[in-house]
Chains A and B, each alone.
Chain A
Amino acid sequence: MRRQIPILITTIAGLVFAISYFIPHDPFGESESIFGDWITIVQAFAVWLGALNLLKISFEKISSKSADWPYAAIIVVSLMGTLAVGFYDGYSGMAQDPQISFRDPGTNFDWLYRFIYTPLSATMFSMLAFFVASASYRAFRARNVQATLLLIAGFFVMGGRVPLFDMMISPITDFPVFSWFADWIMTYPNTAGQRAIMIGIALGIMSSSLRIILGIERSHIGGGSG
C-alpha cells in the first residue's frame, strides 16, 4: 500500500493528462480539469509544507541553541510576522469588500513587499553581477577555438547592450557594429544552439516522463528506478 497506491496515482494522473492532449473531449477533458484543480490546491499545501518545515527546523535550532541560532530566531519572527500581516490584511480586506486583495497598494502586506521583500531579493540577485564578473575574468581566456567563441559571443552581447561601445567606434563608422553584431548573435547562432539544447531536453523529458508513468522510475515516492 505504501508503494502500490502512489504508483497507481502517478500512472492514472500521467495517462489522463497525456491522453487528454489527443482526446480533449469527456471523460478526458473533464478529468484533466478536475485533476488540474486538485494540483492547484495541492501545490498550495506543498508551499505551506516548505514554510512549516522551515519553521520546524528553525525552532529546533533555537531550542538546541545550535550555532547561529539568533538567525533562526529572525527567520521565525519574520515568517510569523509576515503570515500574521498577510492573514490580517486578507481577511479584514475581504470582510469590507470581497474584491479587496491583500496585495492592493496601501496594505501592510504591500508595504512588506515593497520595502522588505523587493530590496532584499533585488539586492541579493544584483550581487551576482559582481560574482559573474570575477568568474568571467577567470573563465574568459582564449585557450582554444571553443573558449574564444565563448569570449567573443559574451563580449559582443554585453558590449552591444550598452551605448558606450557603439559611441567609441562612432569616429570610424556611423554603423552601430556592436549592437548589430550582438543582435545577429542572439538571433542566429544563439537560436541554433538554444534549439539544439531544447530539442535534447524535450526528448529527455519525454523519456523520463514515460518511465515515471510506467512506474519504472520511482524516486519521487522514495524508491529507486528499475
Chain B
Amino acid sequence: MEMISIWIAAILTLGIFSFLYKDNPLYKACEALFVGVSAAYWAIVFYFDNIYKKFYEGAVTADEPDYFLWIGAILGLLFLTRLIPKIGWVSRWPMALIVGATAGLWMVGYFVSNAMNQIGSTISGIIVYDTATGFVAWGETFGSLVILVGVLSGLVYFFFSKEHKGVFGATAKVGTWFLMVTFGASFGYTVMSRMSLLIGRVDFLLGDWLGILR
C-alpha cells in the first residue's frame, strides 16, 4: 500500500511539473484534483473544528448548553443563502458581522502592534551597550541608526500630501533606497523558500520514489 501511495504522489508531482513544458491535460487534471481536494479538506477541517466542536458540543450536547451559540449558527446558515439568488441579500448580515468585528479588532490591534510598538522599537535603545564589557557596541548602534534613518525616510516617502521636493524629496529618495533593499531581500527570501520546497519535491522523487538518494 505504501508503494502505491508513493507512486500516486509521484505521478501527481510529475503532473504538476509537466506545466513547465507547457499547459497540458495531465496538468489540468492534477490542478482540478488539487482544487477539489483542498476545498473539501478545509471544509471538513472547519466543520469538525468550528461547527461540531464549537457549536454542536457547546450548544446541543453540552450539560449546560450555551444558547448564544445558536445565533452564530443561524448567522452561518444565512451565509449559505448566497447560493439562492432570490434571498442572497440575507447573506449580508453574517458578512456584516465578520467585517465589523474584524474592523474593530484590527483598528486597535494593528495600531498597537504595527504602529506604536514598531515606533517604540525604532526610537528606543538606539545606543546599544555590550552586556559583557559595558561599553558601547558600535556595530549594533550603527545598525540601530540605520533602522532609525530607514524608518523615518521610508515614512516620508509614503507621505503624499506634500510634494517630494527639496529636503523632503531627498529624504523620500533615501526612503526608496531602503524600500528597494527591503523588496530585494524579501524577493531573495521568497526565492529561497520556494527553492527549499522544490528541493523537497526533488528529494521525494529521487529518494522516496526512485530510491536513488538514500
List chain A positions with a Cβ less than 8 A from chain B: 2, 5-7, 9-18, 21-22, 34-54, 56, 68, 71-72, 74-83, 86-87, 90, 101-103, 109, 111-130, 132-133, 136, 145-147, 149-158, 161-162, 182, 184-203, 205-206, 208-210, 212-213, 220-222
Contact = CB atoms under 8 A, between A and B. Distances in A.
Give the interface centre of A127, A156, A193, A201 by most chain B CB atoms within 10 Å.
A193
B47 A202 contact: no
23 contacts: A9-B97, A13-B101, A16-B101, A17-B100, A18-B107, A35-B97, A39-B97, A39-B98, A44-B49, A44-B54, A49-B82, A74-B29, A77-B36, A81-B40, A82-B41, A90-B44, A113-B41, A122-B197, A126-B200, A146-B177, A150-B184, A189-B146, A192-B178
Contact of A40 (B54, B83, B148): B54
Contacts of A5: 93, 96
A79 B50 contact: no
Contacts of B89: 2, 222
Give chain B's interface residue range (CB within 8 Å of chain A).
35 or more
A220 B206 CA distance: 48
Nearest to B115: A202
B103 A129 contact: no
B40 A152 contact: no
Given A189-B150, A200-B158, A212-B103, A41 B76 contact: yes
Given A18-B108, A157-B185, A199 B79 contact: no
Interface majority SS (helix, strand, loop, mixed), chain B: helix
Contacts of A68: 28
Contacts of A79: 36-37, 39-40
Contact of A154 (B10, B153, B155, B184): B184
Contact of B192 (A86, A145, A158, A209): A158
B173 to A, nearest CB: 9
Contacts of A151: 184
Interface string B26-44: 0011111111111111111
A192 B100 contact: no
Contacts, number: 419
Given A7-B96, A21-B108, A136-B187, A147 B54 contact: no
A90 B45 CA distance: 10
B107 to A, nearest CB: 4
A205 B103 CA distance: 8
Nearest to B11: A119
A38 B97 contact: yes
Contact of B178 (A11, A36, A90, A193): A193
Nearest to A116: B37
Interface string B15-29: 011011000000011
Contacts of A9: 93, 96-97, 100
